Chain A
Amino acid sequence: MRHLFVVIDCSRSMEDQDLKPNRLTSTLKLMEAFIDEYFDQNPISQVGIITTKNKRAEKLTDLTGNPKKHIAALKKAVDTVCLGEPSLYNSLSLAIQTLKHMPGHTSREILIILSSLTTCDPSNIYEIIKTLKSLKIRVSVIGLSAEVRVCTVLTRETGGLYHVILDESHFKELLMLHIKPPPASSSSECSLIRMGFPQHTVASLTDQDAKPSFSMSHLDSSSGPGLSLGGYFCPQCHAKYTELPVECKVCGLTLVSAPHLARSFHHLFPLQPFVESSVEELQGNRFCQACQGELKDKNIFTCPSCHSVFCVECDLFVHDSLHCCPCCIHSQNTPFGVS
């Protein structure tokens, strides 16, 4: 479970046109893609966005697990006027105010996108670096101009990453680096987390028991309250939600579905890399276990536990998206040995 604050620099230097059409627009666009991908890979995490300009920092969006809010805010932010200098100190303390209340077993992160080469701080920034360290908050920085000393120290002390972009595609690459969860330190607390796994109920008007109900997630939206028949019901308080994952507004229980959890956990139990070998060594039928296609490439990949053979494309797919070997799962599901 990750809590990430993204700080976006909105100072004068963001009007520079070395990224097209200007740095701010380019950054916001990449951020939208980042948010989407982030929630895809980390479904039970939360993100908040802070902007900084004119020596101050303010929250664009609060910490929430709902990507739609962020994307809406980012789209609106394209019109903001860039002026003044950013303030690292103020952005960090704003983020700290919320992050310090987060439970210890979750990861607390801040990602700063800094374009300016100067920062206007009301107080000594090394003090706040000490605070960050003690609160175990990891700060990473993506610089858009050049390497600034204070960022190097900040990221080194808190265990984060510091990179400076070369061009737009490099920027995208660096952003995507932060989608993977950072390695957890052994000193983080362990605790049991309560989670609910609601089943999706689908009902139609022809069912006798079907009762239309309001969905809790529509309380905030401006579209009219929708009465619907199906949805996810919180196991604890039976409040209805249309989408997962979500934190129940009534009883505070985190509601997820199994695939979401699996996707979060593949970072903890990563799939072993498959053993590469040449296709000539294979005896027997030459076809890939996953796609059943003929093995035409020079190299084949073998799973170390079940020894099934895969082609290059299936290997890529298994490692990037599936995160589990299909043959291993298949053999587990049929304990009586039908392979």
Chain B
Amino acid sequence: MLNIEGLLVYFPYDYIYPEQYSYMLELKRTLDAKGHGVLEMPSGTGKTISLLSLIVAYQRAFPLEASKLIYCSRTVPEIEKVVEELRKLMEFYSKETGENNNFLALALSSRKNLCIHPEILHANIVVYSYHYLLDPKIADLVSKELAKKSVVVFDEAHNIDNVCIDSMSVNITRRMLDRCHNNVDTLQNTIHKIKETDAAKLKEEYRRLVEGLKEANVARETDIYLANPVLPDEILQEAVPGTIRTAEHFVGFLRRFLEYLKSRLRVQHVVQESAAQFLKDIFEKVCIDRKPLRFCSERLQSLLRTLEIADIADFSAVTLISNFATLVSTYSQGFTIIIEPFEDRTPTIANPVLHFSCMDPSIAIKPVFQRFQSVIITSGTLSPLDIYPRILDFRPVTIASFTMTLARTCLCPLIVGRGNDQVALSSKFETREDFAVIRNYGNLLLEMSAIVPDGIVAFFTSYVYMENIVASWYEQGILENIQRNKLIFIETQDAAETSMALEKYQEACENGRGAILLSVARGKVSEGIDFVHHFGRAVIMFGMPYVYTQSRILKARLEYLRDQFQIRENDFLTFDAMRHAAQCVGRVIRGKTDYGLMIFADKRYARADKRGKLPRWIQEHISDSSLNLTVDEAIQLSKHFLRQMAQPFRREDQLGLSLLTLKQLESEEMLQKITQIAHQT
């Protein structure tokens, strides 16, 4: 049991890391201040249990201040891990206090469990995926009635801005429009049938429409409901416009809108316009006003309920289109429409797409920040920390970055900027075809494969780049040499192939043959898979993972960030590249007994403005002498590091330094040291 500034916290383990204590301290201070927080703590240092222990203790001590904990995670395995830790914590509580606590924790992991709404109201702790809180289409169903005095935690939140943007963006293809057309036909037929059997139902709906929105308004005002970006407050003040009140009129309205969209997709060249221009064009072409568009999604929901449609999934196409209609007509800023007749890489295949792209991540998350008292954004790779408050538009009371206390330095970040022939290494666009650079990269991988045991993970900046390099290596005979040392596996865009490659990679690492996994910096592997212990003894980042800068959507987004938030384009692109790089290399260390090499193979990493954007817990191990190494120098350092790490290292070696017993924690000098771990920005 710990005492953190007066709060009694039950911690279910005998040993604690100093940075866990420090983290809990900052967390408590954030909750005391009733504000939001941005906290960066390296993965594998027990972040989850620290969060849970502290917040549960806070809930018990101040049940009115923090009535609920909403823990948002990205993937189902992560949710399961959280539930495990929670279970342990609850058992510990029962053991220590002797009483059966009446805490209810609820975890939602699949679509089957959506209709649980009354239970959520009573639960003290809810664990689910981000989307249930951020995606406006789902949030309404699940998270509408969550109490205001809740603590929301977004774990592994380094990509939260992309999640926000994706949840508000819509891509419309011709196929989607065809499906929508079918949906609308079905709707029409259903309405016709009901009219014959039960006209009263439709009349009832009509009446409800006039009343129904009033209900939602009252609920919002009295703070019972969470705001929904797809149904902003202004709309609630008004009644549904006459043009779409009756069911048949609404269906006709949908048809006209659909025709308009189909015509827009018949372009021969790229079109980019703002939402306002789009609306003007709609009005000119099909006489559809802005107002009825805004009510589109709500109207559709009501219609589906009235017609008692059981399987909503069948109508996903028309739901999407109606959401699009509402979004485009509601927001004057923050969105852009780009219509492309074909994909850039395949100009001869006609594949028109309408991208309705959200450029402002703060729109989706604004309701969350406004409603809930304390929102904590945490991850292992959140640097540079000050960008998040700017792009998500909120003011945190705490911004802090924590480092790992280590009894032995278990990570070895090296920046390899040159080949042995002194040619500068980079994935810059201009040097991509350079034969010498490719050969040097191949040499680096070859040498590493000879000295690193078990598994190596190599990340490239894009699939195209990876394919080109690997083809080149094959021609130069480098692949053959590498294969004598280790087997090679490669990630592709096909999910099944990648799973198979991953499986075989793990098998090769287990049975001593050793393997290399070639993957891509924004692919599935870099987002989700951990390479603990022998599965990842070294990670090589070939180049800097800049996003494809010629994309029109990206360009629009950068322009918006520059105009609205005064964030320079280069700064944002670098931030995005570095956070992906950090994510990739962070996969390889998951705990203090794990160890790994982190090789940054691009001369640009040595520059202070790029290096400074890496998380603090990686930066502090980059020494000035390892900034611009040649391949040979890096190999020497790596060999030495690996030998050192292979020496026996037991728990006793960590005690007192990076692992503390309760007694050690309470000593004066330890508490002094702990205050220095959190670095405030």
Q: Which of A's residues lie within 8 Å of B, judged by CB?
A: 12-13, 18, 85, 88, 117-121, 124-126, 143, 145-151, 163-166
B645: chain A residues at CB < 8 Å are 146-147
The verdict on B148 contacting chain A, using a C-beta distance below 8 Å, is no
Q: Are A118 and B643 in contact (CB under 8 A)?
A: no
The verdict on B608 contacting chain A, using a C-beta distance below 8 Å, is no
Q: Which of A145, A146, A165 has the most CB of B within 10 A?
A: A146
B644: chain A residues at CB < 8 Å are 166
Known: A118-B512, A124-B511, A150-B512. A145 touches B453 (CB 8 A): yes
Task: Enumerate B520-579 residues with CB–CB distance to A below 8 Å.
Answer: 533-534, 537
Q: Which of A13, A147, A151 has the most CB of B within 10 A?
A: A147
B511: chain A residues at CB < 8 Å are 121, 124-126, 150
A80 to chain B, nearest CB (A): 19
Closest to A126 in B: B511
A166: chain B residues at CB < 8 Å are 643-644, 647
Known: A117-B451, A118-B486. A147 touches B512 (CB 8 A): no
Complex CA gap A151/B453 in Å reads 11
The verdict on B471 contacting chain A, using a C-beta distance below 8 Å, is no
Q: Please encode chain B, from 57 to 81, with 1 for each CB lying within 8 Å of some chain A CB and 0 for all others.
A: 0000000000000000000000000
A53 to chain B, nearest CB (A): 13
Q: Are A149 and B509 in contact (CB under 8 A)?
A: yes
Q: List the count of A-B residue pairs having beta carbons below 8 Å apart.
A: 72
A126: chain B residues at CB < 8 Å are 511
The verdict on B262 contacting chain A, using a C-beta distance below 8 Å, is no
The verdict on B205 contacting chain A, using a C-beta distance below 8 Å, is no
Q: Are A119 and B642 in contact (CB under 8 A)?
A: no
B513: chain A residues at CB < 8 Å are 118-121
B643: chain A residues at CB < 8 Å are 145-146, 164-166
Q: Are A117 and B533 in contact (CB under 8 A)?
A: no
B514: chain A residues at CB < 8 Å are 117-118, 148
A120: chain B residues at CB < 8 Å are 513
Q: Are B646 and A146 in contact (CB under 8 A)?
A: yes
Complex CA gap A118/B456 in Å reads 13
Q: Please encode chain B, from 184 to 214, with 1 for each CB lying within 8 Å of some chain A CB and 0 for all others.
A: 0000000000000000000000000000000
Q: Are B454 and A148 in contact (CB under 8 A)?
A: yes
Q: List 9 A-B contacts (CB under 8 A).
A: A18-B639, A125-B511, A125-B512, A146-B451, A146-B643, A147-B642, A149-B510, A150-B512, A164-B647
The verdict on B582 contacting chain A, using a C-beta distance below 8 Å, is no
B537: chain A residues at CB < 8 Å are 146
Complex CA gap A85/B486 in Å reads 11
Q: Are B646 and A149 in contact (CB under 8 A)?
A: no
Complex CA gap A251/B386 in Å reads 86
Q: Are A150 and B642 in contact (CB under 8 A)?
A: no
Complex CA gap A148/B642 in Å reads 11
Complex CA gap A166/B640 in Å reads 8
Partner of A118, one of B485, B647, B648: B485
Q: Are B454 and A149 in contact (CB under 8 A)?
A: yes
Q: Are A164 and B454 in contact (CB under 8 A)?
A: no
A88: chain B residues at CB < 8 Å are 512
Closest to B484 in A: A85
A164: chain B residues at CB < 8 Å are 643, 646-647
Known: A149-B509, A149-B512, A149-B533. A117 touches B646 (CB 8 A): no
Additional 16 contacts, C-beta under 8 A, given A117-B452, A146-B643, A148-B512: A18-B639, A117-B485, A117-B514, A118-B513, A124-B511, A145-B453, A146-B645, A147-B645, A148-B454, A148-B534, A149-B510, A149-B512, A163-B646, A163-B648, A164-B647, A166-B644
Complex CA gap A145/B514 in Å reads 14
Complex CA gap A149/B23 in Å reads 33
Closest to B640 in A: A166
B486: chain A residues at CB < 8 Å are 118
Complex CA gap A29/B54 in Å reads 60
A125: chain B residues at CB < 8 Å are 511-512
Q: Are A121 and B642 in contact (CB under 8 A)?
A: no
The verdict on B450 contacting chain A, using a C-beta distance below 8 Å, is yes
Q: Are B646 and A143 in contact (CB under 8 A)?
A: yes
Q: Please encode chain B, from 404 to 434, with 1 for each CB lying within 8 Å of some chain A CB and 0 for all others.
A: 0000000000000000000000000000000
Q: Are A121 and B646 in contact (CB under 8 A)?
A: no
B639: chain A residues at CB < 8 Å are 18, 145-146
Complex CA gap A18/B645 in Å reads 18
Partner of A146, one of B453, B512, B648: B453
B279 to chain A, nearest CB (A): 61
Complex CA gap A13/B484 in Å reads 11
Closest to B643 in A: A166
B647: chain A residues at CB < 8 Å are 163-164, 166
A13: chain B residues at CB < 8 Å are 450
B453: chain A residues at CB < 8 Å are 117, 145-149
Closest to A117 in B: B453
A119: chain B residues at CB < 8 Å are 512-513
Q: Please encode chain B, from 127 to 163, with 1 for each CB lying within 8 Å of some chain A CB and 0 for all others.
A: 0000000000000000000000000000000000000
A124 to chain B, nearest CB (A): 7
B451: chain A residues at CB < 8 Å are 117, 145-146
Complex CA gap A124/B18 in Å reads 42
A156 to chain B, nearest CB (A): 12
A143: chain B residues at CB < 8 Å are 646
Q: Which of A12, A85, A88, A150 has the most CB of B within 10 A?
A: A150
Complex CA gap A312/B141 in Å reads 82
Task: Enumerate B36-94 residues with CB–CB distance to A below 8 Å.
Answer: none
Complex CA gap A104/B343 in Å reads 73
A12: chain B residues at CB < 8 Å are 484
B534 to chain A, nearest CB (A): 4
B509: chain A residues at CB < 8 Å are 149
A186 to chain B, nearest CB (A): 25
Q: Please encode chain B, from 638 to 667, with 1 for each CB lying within 8 Å of some chain A CB and 0 for all others.
A: 010011111110000000000000000000
Closest to A147 in B: B646
B537 to chain A, nearest CB (A): 8
B646: chain A residues at CB < 8 Å are 143, 146-147, 163-164
Known: A85-B484, A118-B485, A164-B643. A146 touches B510 (CB 8 A): no
B134 to chain A, nearest CB (A): 40
Q: Which of A126, A148, A163, A165 has the most CB of B within 10 A?
A: A148
B533: chain A residues at CB < 8 Å are 149
A286 to chain B, nearest CB (A): 40
Complex CA gap A145/B450 in Å reads 10
A18: chain B residues at CB < 8 Å are 639
Complex CA gap A125/B644 in Å reads 27
B301 to chain A, nearest CB (A): 55
Q: Which of B486, B514, B643 has the most CB of A within 10 A?
A: B643
Complex CA gap A149/B451 in Å reads 14
